[in-house]
Structure formats: C-alpha cells, structure tokens
Amino acid sequence: MILAARFAARVVDLEPGRKVSVDWGAPGVTSWELAESEGRTKLAFVQSGFDEQNPPYAAWAGNVSGLAELRRFHEVPAGQPIWLPEETATIVG
C-alpha cells in the first residue's frame, strides 16, 4: 500500500539570502523579501492569493506577532521576548 504524502505548505519561489514565497493552500501565498537600503536591511512581507470573502485572519495574526517579535529582537537592547517561558513545576515536600 502506497500512501501519498500531504504537506501543509510548498515553497514556490526561493532565492537564498534574499527571498522566499510559501504557498499555504487556502490561506494563500506568503512572501518575504530582503533588500539593502542605505546600509540597512528592509523586509517586504506580502500575503496574496487568499479568498477575499473569507480572509485568513488567524494566519495573519500569527505572522504579525512573529514580525513584531523579530523587530523587538533586533531593536530593543537586552529586551525580553514577548513569549513567557514555560513555568516549571515545583514539588514541595
């Protein structure tokens, strides 16, 4: 018996170190592109190909929160991540 593999996403465009586009199926295509600008790096982030009558809000929220964390990582000196570490259980005994 042969089972067909199913993947959640497919890379549709890739230029290592510069750009990548991923087709997520119904949520559409997400593209990230880096470009140099006045000695700095710009990130262009585009989402396309989704059903305009049923936008993938959950996917967008995840992407935006990830971008916010990436920005904090690079711009806030000694900043704390927005994600809290998992609490470890303490056994009192």
pLDDT digit string, tens, across residues 73-93: 878 877 666 666 666 555 565
Q: What is the pLDDT of residue 91?
A: 59
Kindly report the number of other CB atoms within 10 A of residue 27's CB atom.
Answer: 22
Element (H or E) spanning 43, and its range? strand 40-48
Contact 60, 47 (CB under 8 A): yes
pLDDT tens across 13-61, in order?
Answer: 999 999 999 998 888 899 999 999 898 889 899 999 888 898 888 888 8
Helix (H, G, I), strand (E, B) or coil at 66: helix
Pick from 36, 34, 52: which is nearest to 44 by CA?
A: 34
Question: Between these two residues, 70 and 47, which has the higher pLDDT value?
Answer: 47
